[in-house]
Amino acid sequence: MASIKVTKRASNIEYAIRDVIVHTQELIKNGKKIYYLNVGDPAAFDFKTPDYVKEALCKAIANDDNYYSPSEGRKELREAIAQKEKRVNKVDISADNVLITDGISEGIQMILAALVENGDEILFPGPTYPPYISYTKFFDGTPVAYETIEKEGWIPNIDDLRSKITEKTRAIVITNPNNPTGSVYSAKMIKEILDIAGEHGLPVLSDEIYDQLTYEKEFVSASYLTKDVPVVGLNGFSKVYQMTGWRLGYLYFKGEGQVISNLRLGVEKQCRIRLCANTPVQIAGAAALNGPQDFVKDIVEKLKQRRDYAYKRLNEIEGVETTKPEGAFYIFPKIHGVGSKWKTDVDFVVQLLKETGVLLVNGSGFDSDYGEGHVRIVFLPPIEELEESFNALEQFIKKK
């Protein structure tokens, strides 16, 4: 019998946010309580999908709207997205330039599949959301991190970004607000990145899924600021509308010319081969955008309280140092004992989990250069649960 060889591209996939969960299996069997501070899932805590959105989904199913929809997405939803981008982010796009995906992660996969071939490079902020790294590698490309400066609130180092552009660079990624650091980029910073992209004829991939979840700083979309640089916007319904398990996202294409047309067609063809996104969920997604939006303010206020608590409490722990997140719901502290008390940040995360049940994500999973020595912590749980987790973290560090 011939042996079956699994491809290198599949064997080498890494996704730190969920890879760490495997270490919980034996602990759960033995009855240990796990504090899940690893996954950015508001619906898993006390942030619930709005009732009118749930009702729209149930109604769609009851009405037998359970058929295949157009591969590019339902027209009603694409129009609602175009209106939302205009209303919220001042971005002018037509519904024809919106494509619906099964969550933003599928959108990342599709746009990188359309851009990357053997040896091609994608520039991304270090640290960044891991699929930008993993999918670039999956398509035989090379992910290249540009520095973000921790002491300045994790803002991009423009000189470093510029220095890393080569003839193999195919796009520049912006994640704003940033996952895992929570940084929010100023309009000036985004314009500088757009200018560099324009100088080199590169498109910008702008991941904006946390666009409405900012605190003191105002979010500004790259698509609003661009003049002639092609921008692919990536967004979705998971974080603001608490529809994480529903898997609904979108891409939109801003700009004129052959580059943006080719990218759109390259993604649309992939939409066809996977048939369509979930039809009833698309109907509910349109309802989410067209319905009342007042609940977003309440979400931001609740998150801000938890952000403030996490920032203050973590900086009180000896050996832990962190900047204050300006958006999203992550905080990315530096653990000073990594490299001495613990060999790597992975060792720190695994030992902390086994001894305390507190589950974090190693910073190196978001980039091996600029994330190493850090951990990503989700501050979605109620403050009481955060307090228990941080007390356990403090005791763990003191013991070592």
- Residues 276, 171: one domain? yes
- Residues 168, 212: one domain? yes
What pLDDT was estimated at residue 334?
96
What pLDDT was estimated at residue 30?
77
269 lies in some domain: yes
- Residues 19, 137: one domain? no
The predicted-structure confidence for 249-303, as pLDDT tens digits, reads as follows: 999 999 888 888 899 999 999 999 999 999 999 999 999 999 999 999 999 999 9
Whichever domain contains 236, its CATH number is 3.40.640.10
Chosen domain end from 258, 290, 322: 290
- Residues 73, 136: one domain? yes
In the numeric block, which tokens belong to residue 168?
């193999």
3-state secondary structure of 180: coil
131 lies in some domain: yes
What pLDDT was estimated at residue 16?
60
What pLDDT was estimated at residue 39?
87
The predicted-structure confidence for 332-372, as pLDDT tens digits, reads as follows: 999 998 888 899 999 999 999 999 999 999 999 999 999 99
What pLDDT was estimated at residue 17?
65
Q: Which H/E stretch holds residue 308?
A: helix 295-315
Percent of the chain whose pLDDT exceeds 70: 98
* CA proximity to 252, closest of 389, 63, 146, 101: 101
- Residues 40, 62: one domain? no
86 lies in some domain: yes
- Residues 286, 303: one domain? no
- Residues 154, 123: one domain? yes
pLDDT at 126 over 90: yes
Classify residue 204 by its DSSP letter. E
The predicted-structure confidence for 131-179, as pLDDT tens digits, reads as follows: 999 999 999 999 999 999 999 999 999 999 999 999 999 999 999 999 9
pLDDT at 40 over 60: yes
- Residues 279, 326: one domain? no
2 lies in some domain: no
pLDDT at 120 over 80: yes
186 lies in some domain: yes
- Residues 342, 353: one domain? yes
pLDDT at 307 over 70: yes
Looking at every residue in the chain, the average pLDDT score rounds to 93
3-state secondary structure of 265: helix
What pLDDT was estimated at residue 197?
97
pLDDT at 311 over 90: yes
Chosen domain end from 290, 325, 340: 290
**Average of per-residue pLDDT across 197-226:** 96
3 lies in some domain: no
pLDDT at 19 over 80: no
The pTM assigned to this predicted structure is 0.93
Q: How far is the C-alpha of 222 from the C-alpha of 356, rounded, in Å?
A: 42
Q: Which H/E stretch holds residue 331?
A: strand 330-331
**Average of per-residue pLDDT across 321-329:** 97
pLDDT at 1 over 60: no
- Residues 314, 350: one domain? yes
Whichever domain contains 387, its CATH number is 3.90.1150.10
In the numeric block, which tokens belong to residue 122?
């994608």
- Residues 325, 206: one domain? no
pLDDT band at 34 (very low <50, low <70, confident <90, very high): confident
What pLDDT was estimated at residue 27?
75
212 lies in some domain: yes
The predicted-structure confidence for 362-396, as pLDDT tens digits, reads as follows: 999 999 999 999 999 999 999 999 999 999 999 99
Chosen domain end from 259, 290, 321: 290
- Residues 143, 202: one domain? yes
Overall number of domains in the chain: 2
Percent of the chain whose pLDDT exceeds 90: 87
Burial of 252 (C-beta count, 10 Å sphere; 0-12/13-18/19+): buried
376 lies in some domain: yes
Q: Containing domain of residue 320, as a range?
A: 8-48+295-399
pLDDT band at 46 (very low <50, low <70, confident <90, very high): very high
